Structure 1
Amino acid sequence: MEIVTLDHFARCVGEGFEIDMGTGSLVFTLTEARPLPERGFTGMRRSPFSLLFRSESKVLLPQKIYRLKNAALGILDIFLVPVARDKDGIIYQAIFN
């Protein structure tokens, strides 16, 4: 796939992204895909954007690059950071600059 953009992910809001953990898999749901302010750096290949994923698992995963698989987008390596926890699970964020 060429460089991913907000448009690629915006079509997948509400869909599952499977993470193979080696001993099983977790499914994260993409809950938000939104643009971020552009800073106007020379040579930018895409407009910056943010993604939020929800995991219903109570297990907190560390921030790192995870291999996610989605039916529409295929396999993507994405750096995820846990940013919130509530009664329904954990929210992870990915920022694309």
Structure 2
Amino acid sequence: MELQELTHQDFKGYLNQNLKIKFSEDVTLPAELVEVVKLKGYTPLEREPFLLTFRTQQQNEYYQQGTFVVEHPILGEIPMFLGPMGFDNIGMKYEAVFS
């Protein structure tokens, strides 16, 4: 499936499931999809905007925003622009916004 064809519905069934984020050739970390949110659109787009929130178990460090590969056993490898959102009591959260 092409990136521009993905919708929030493609991810809802994988909420709270584990996947991996490949931050570099040498670093792939386990992560969990912790949030799928449908956003309000401001123009008549082909798809409704949405955001995904992922959580890694990083405690003291994080990666700056950039395009990384999210690996899922069913959806495959999906390049996403992820931004760090901050730490919670479990780890670091990263967010991807699709518009």
TM-score (norm 1): 0.89
Tell me what 2:16 maps to.
14
Tell me what 1:84 maps to.
86
- Residue 12 (structure 1) shift: 0.8
Q: Distance in 1 between matches of 2:94 and 2:55?
A: 6
Q: Distance in 1 between matches of 2:88 and 2:21?
A: 21
Contact 1:12 1:72 (8 Å CA) reproduced: no
1:55 aligns with 2:56: yes
Identical aligned residues as a percent: 27
Q: Which amino acid aligns with 1:57?
A: Q
Runs of 4+ in structure 1 off by over 4 angstroms are none
Q: Distance in 2 between matches of 1:93 and 1:24?
A: 18
**Matched positions, count:** 95
Q: Distance in 2 between matches of 1:71 and 1:13?
A: 14
Q: Which amino acid aligns with 1:82?
A: P
RMSD over aligned Cα, in angstroms?
A: 1.3
Q: Distance in 1 between matches of 2:36 and 2:88?
A: 20
- Residue 24 (structure 1) shift: 3.8
Q: Summarize the alignment of residues 2-41 of structure 1 with structure 2, pairs less than 5 Å apart.
A: 2=2, 3-20=5-22, 21-39=24-42, 41=43
Cα deviation, 1:15-70, whole Å, max 9, x if unaligned, reads: 2221233224201110010111121x24x121001111101022211100001110
Identify unmatched segments of 5+ residues in structure 1.
Answer: none
TM-score (norm 2): 0.87
Identify unmatched segments of 5+ residues in structure 2.
Answer: none
1:74 aligns with 2:76: yes
